[in-house]
Amino acid sequence: MIDFNRHVLERYDALGPVLQPRMGFSCPARMQAGLEATAASRANTVCTITLDAFTRVKNLDAAQRAIDGDAMLNGYPIVNHPAAQTRAMLDQIDARYRLPVQIRHGSPDPLHIFQRMVEIGSATTEGGPLSYCLPYSRTPLRQAFGHWEKACQVLAGGVEHSHIESFAGCMMGQMCDPAILVALNILEGLFLRAHGIKTLSFSYAQGTSPVQDRAAVTALQQLAAEFFEPDSYHFVGYVFMGFFPRTLGGFCRITGDALGMIRATGVQRVIIKTPVESRRIPRIEENIAALEYADYCLRTDGVLPDIPFDGQEHARIINAAKRLIKGTLERDANLSEAILGAFDSGFLSIPYCLHPDNKRGAGTVVTAQNYYHGFEGERVENAFSFLAALRHNIRTYDAVL
């Protein structure tokens, strides 16, 4: 079994950032073709199996009906397909290419998924009780913590190199003050480590300013070094997760800004998007083209923009994140209770998130520098600001230059 964290760190040292698609197909043959194409591409890659929506919410009967009726799902129903078939798929990628495959799922209650991962010998996944409950689910936060405690113990006890990527850096796409994303990464990472997960990765999604993104990722790197052992984690950057630009030029510009930040900060792994994200799920060949385009940009001098470092914004982000982490950990000796208490009191709050356990006492504004800055207030968000935030990068990157 491949150690995912070690693999990413070693490939980064040898070849630069490791690139990864968000790819999932319901048909095993098509999923196998997607894995093969990713592994065989000219880019420096790792592979992905993204699960379907029915599996995420544990509606396995609906997933089976779709399989029986030859209906196309929006991902791979890993629990319904025979374990031996999926294991053979992973073994083939390992034998031919020596590449790991990450299972991406989106579930607030992933026990059934992790049990199947153990059956097929898969050790690498993503999420956490915060990032896959808020805002993707209405599952009570306390229940999500209980679900994830059990699931982590199953994965950690069942595989040799358990690895989970916190999705906390992608909360609400891009509409959070980065200080919140940084703090939640650390808190969720501490939870995952406390429940036996061997290695971690910390995420950050591209926002509205590559300069602010560089400041935020630098803060995340510094705080991770304070809380976690060296070589027990790596960082993953996401090309923009909100409403994606509609034009090819917009895709190139937003991807270039994301990759410029990746290069400036030394982030080891990158989740890549395609030019068709605003319209439909990309085909295999479109994913491969985007991976190879990103790889070319990273390897070729003069293609990517130089991203300056804003020391003042970095200091603001790291100080605010430290305050959130410290204020949360001081609430209870039990980490889960401390985090739950911080949300219950409103000390931790996610802008625009409608989950019942989120007090919605935090908002964001876009400054004149295109930075997201948070503020506190009583139910501060509204539909106008939400839609404006969603469309900000479309206006920025699809503009005719």
CATH number at residue 257: 3.20.20.240
| pLDDT tens string 324-371 | 999 999 999 999 999 999 999 999 999 888 899 998 877 788 888 889
What's the pLDDT score for residue 175? 76
Concatenated DSSP letters of 115-146: HHHHHHT--EEE--TTTTTTTT--S-HHHHHH
Query: Contact at 8 Å (CB) between 215 and 310?
Result: yes
Listed residue (153, 162, 161) closest to 195, CA to CA: 153
In a domain, 203, yes or no: yes
φ/ψ region of 285 (left if φ > 0, alpha if ψ in -120 to 50, else beta) reads: alpha
Listed residue (259, 256, 201) closest to 228, CA to CA: 201
Quote the tokens at residue 82.
């025979």
Quote the tokens at residue 343.
């949300």
Question: Which residue segment(s) compose the domain that 91 sits in?
Answer: 4-299
In a domain, 354, yes or no: no
Report the run of H or E that residue 376 belongs to, with start and end.
Answer: strand 372-376
What's the pLDDT score for residue 135? 81
| Helix, strand and coil percent figures for the chain, each rounded to 5 | 50, 10, 40
Give residue for tokens 């006890």: 157
Q: What is the mean pLDDT of the chain?
A: 92
Tell me the C-alpha to C-alpha distance, in Å, between residue 304 and each of 256, 258, 296, 347.
6, 9, 10, 39
In a domain, 312, yes or no: no
In a domain, 314, yes or no: no
The total of structural domains in the chain comes to 1
What's the pLDDT score for residue 240? 78
Mean pLDDT, range 173-190, rounded to an integer: 91
In a domain, 245, yes or no: yes
| pLDDT tens string 328-340 | 999 999 999 999 9
In a domain, 223, yes or no: yes
Sign, CA torsion 330/334/336/340: negative
In a domain, 370, yes or no: no
